[in-house]
Amino acid sequence: MPASLDTTDAPPRGELTVQITAMPADTNPSGDIFGGWVLSRMDQAGGIAAAERARGRVATVALDAMKFIRPVKVGDVLCVYTLIEAVGRTSMKVHVEAWARRYNTHVRERVTVATLTFVALDEAGRPRPVPAASA
Protein backbone atom coordinates (compact mmCIF):
# COMPACT_ATOMS: atom_id res chain seq x y z
CA MET A 1 0.00 0.00 0.00
CA PRO A 2 1.39 3.45 -0.85
CA ALA A 3 2.57 5.48 2.16
CA SER A 4 -0.05 8.14 1.35
CA LEU A 5 -2.78 5.59 2.15
CA ASP A 6 -1.13 4.14 5.24
CA THR A 7 -3.77 3.36 7.85
CA THR A 8 -1.53 3.33 10.91
CA ASP A 9 -2.11 5.80 13.69
CA ALA A 10 1.07 7.79 13.13
CA PRO A 11 0.66 11.54 13.67
CA PRO A 12 -1.19 13.49 10.98
CA ARG A 13 0.84 14.49 7.91
CA GLY A 14 0.61 18.14 6.98
CA GLU A 15 -0.98 21.24 8.45
CA LEU A 16 -4.36 21.48 10.15
CA THR A 17 -6.45 23.25 7.51
CA VAL A 18 -10.14 22.73 8.44
CA GLN A 19 -11.97 21.82 11.67
CA ILE A 20 -15.72 21.28 11.88
CA THR A 21 -18.15 19.49 14.20
CA ALA A 22 -20.16 16.63 12.70
CA MET A 23 -23.87 17.33 13.26
CA PRO A 24 -27.02 15.14 13.20
CA ALA A 25 -28.14 16.59 9.83
CA ASP A 26 -24.98 15.08 8.25
CA THR A 27 -25.84 11.43 9.09
CA ASN A 28 -26.87 8.44 7.02
CA PRO A 29 -29.70 6.09 8.14
CA SER A 30 -27.18 4.13 10.27
CA GLY A 31 -26.32 7.22 12.29
CA ASP A 32 -22.81 7.64 10.88
CA ILE A 33 -21.71 10.78 9.08
CA PHE A 34 -22.10 10.53 5.28
CA GLY A 35 -18.85 9.76 3.47
CA GLY A 36 -19.74 12.49 0.98
CA TRP A 37 -19.84 15.05 3.81
CA VAL A 38 -16.34 14.00 4.87
CA LEU A 39 -15.12 14.07 1.25
CA SER A 40 -16.55 17.57 0.82
CA ARG A 41 -14.62 18.86 3.86
CA MET A 42 -11.46 17.18 2.53
CA ASP A 43 -11.92 18.77 -0.89
CA GLN A 44 -12.45 22.13 0.82
CA ALA A 45 -9.24 21.76 2.85
CA GLY A 46 -7.25 20.58 -0.18
CA GLY A 47 -8.55 23.56 -2.14
CA ILE A 48 -7.45 25.95 0.59
CA ALA A 49 -3.93 24.48 0.60
CA ALA A 50 -3.72 24.42 -3.20
CA ALA A 51 -5.01 28.00 -3.55
CA GLU A 52 -2.42 29.22 -1.05
CA ARG A 53 0.36 27.42 -2.94
CA ALA A 54 -0.92 28.60 -6.34
CA ARG A 55 -1.54 32.11 -4.99
CA GLY A 56 -4.95 32.18 -6.65
CA ARG A 57 -7.89 30.27 -8.00
CA VAL A 58 -7.76 26.47 -8.26
CA ALA A 59 -10.16 23.68 -9.18
CA THR A 60 -10.27 20.01 -8.21
CA VAL A 61 -9.52 17.87 -11.25
CA ALA A 62 -8.97 14.40 -9.77
CA LEU A 63 -9.37 12.24 -6.74
CA ASP A 64 -6.49 9.82 -7.24
CA ALA A 65 -7.02 7.63 -4.22
CA MET A 66 -9.25 7.57 -1.14
CA LYS A 67 -9.68 5.22 1.76
CA PHE A 68 -12.40 5.33 4.42
CA ILE A 69 -10.82 3.81 7.54
CA ARG A 70 -13.27 4.48 10.39
CA PRO A 71 -16.70 6.13 10.65
CA VAL A 72 -17.24 9.69 11.86
CA LYS A 73 -19.94 10.06 14.52
CA VAL A 74 -22.21 12.93 15.53
CA GLY A 75 -20.36 15.30 17.84
CA ASP A 76 -16.90 14.35 16.61
CA VAL A 77 -14.69 17.23 15.51
CA LEU A 78 -13.42 16.48 12.02
CA CYS A 79 -9.85 17.79 11.69
CA VAL A 80 -8.51 17.87 8.12
CA TYR A 81 -4.77 18.07 7.45
CA THR A 82 -3.16 18.88 4.10
CA LEU A 83 0.28 18.51 2.58
CA ILE A 84 1.31 19.55 -0.95
CA GLU A 85 3.03 16.40 -2.23
CA ALA A 86 3.95 17.44 -5.77
CA VAL A 87 3.76 20.52 -7.97
CA GLY A 88 3.70 20.31 -11.75
CA ARG A 89 3.49 23.11 -14.29
CA THR A 90 -0.22 23.86 -13.72
CA SER A 91 -1.30 21.28 -11.15
CA MET A 92 -0.63 20.09 -7.61
CA LYS A 93 -1.16 16.79 -5.79
CA VAL A 94 -2.39 17.32 -2.24
CA HIS A 95 -2.29 14.64 0.45
CA VAL A 96 -5.36 15.05 2.66
CA GLU A 97 -6.04 13.28 5.97
CA ALA A 98 -9.23 13.51 8.00
CA TRP A 99 -9.02 12.77 11.71
CA ALA A 100 -11.89 12.59 14.20
CA ARG A 101 -11.45 14.03 17.66
CA ARG A 102 -14.04 11.84 19.35
CA TYR A 103 -16.92 13.48 21.20
CA ASN A 104 -16.46 13.63 24.99
CA THR A 105 -13.27 11.53 24.97
CA HIS A 106 -11.04 13.70 22.76
CA VAL A 107 -9.38 10.53 21.47
CA ARG A 108 -8.01 11.27 18.00
CA GLU A 109 -8.32 8.71 15.17
CA ARG A 110 -7.52 8.85 11.47
CA VAL A 111 -10.77 8.28 9.58
CA THR A 112 -10.08 9.00 5.89
CA VAL A 113 -7.05 9.52 3.65
CA ALA A 114 -7.03 10.82 0.07
CA THR A 115 -4.88 12.30 -2.66
CA LEU A 116 -6.51 15.10 -4.66
CA THR A 117 -5.19 16.93 -7.71
CA PHE A 118 -5.89 20.62 -8.24
CA VAL A 119 -5.15 22.82 -11.23
CA ALA A 120 -4.31 26.52 -10.99
CA LEU A 121 -6.68 28.69 -13.02
CA ASP A 122 -6.48 32.19 -14.50
CA GLU A 123 -9.32 34.75 -14.45
CA ALA A 124 -10.92 33.09 -17.49
CA GLY A 125 -10.86 29.65 -15.88
CA ARG A 126 -8.00 28.31 -18.02
CA PRO A 127 -5.02 26.44 -16.55
CA ARG A 128 -2.12 28.69 -15.62
CA PRO A 129 1.38 27.95 -14.31
CA VAL A 130 1.80 27.44 -10.58
CA PRO A 131 4.23 30.11 -9.33
CA ALA A 132 7.58 29.06 -7.92
CA ALA A 133 7.55 28.32 -4.20
CA SER A 134 8.18 31.28 -1.93
CA ALA A 135 11.47 31.29 -0.09
Distance from C-alpha of 91 to C-alpha of 59, rounded to nearest angstrom = 9
- Domain made up of 13-120: CATH architecture: Roll (3.10)
What pLDDT digit, counting tens, does each position of 12-42 carry? 999 999 999 999 999 999 889 999 999 999 9
Return phi, psi of residue 90, to 5°.
-125, -5
Residue 1 has pLDDT above 80, yes or no: no
- How high is the pLDDT of residue 9? 63
| Domain map (residue ranges) of the chain | 13-120
For residue 32, the 8-state DSSP code is B
Question: Is the whole-model pTM more than 0.85?
Answer: yes
What does the pLDDT look like over 49-107, one tens digit per residue?
A: 999 999 999 999 999 989 999 999 999 999 999 999 999 999 999 999 999 999 988 89
d(CA 33, CA 74): 7
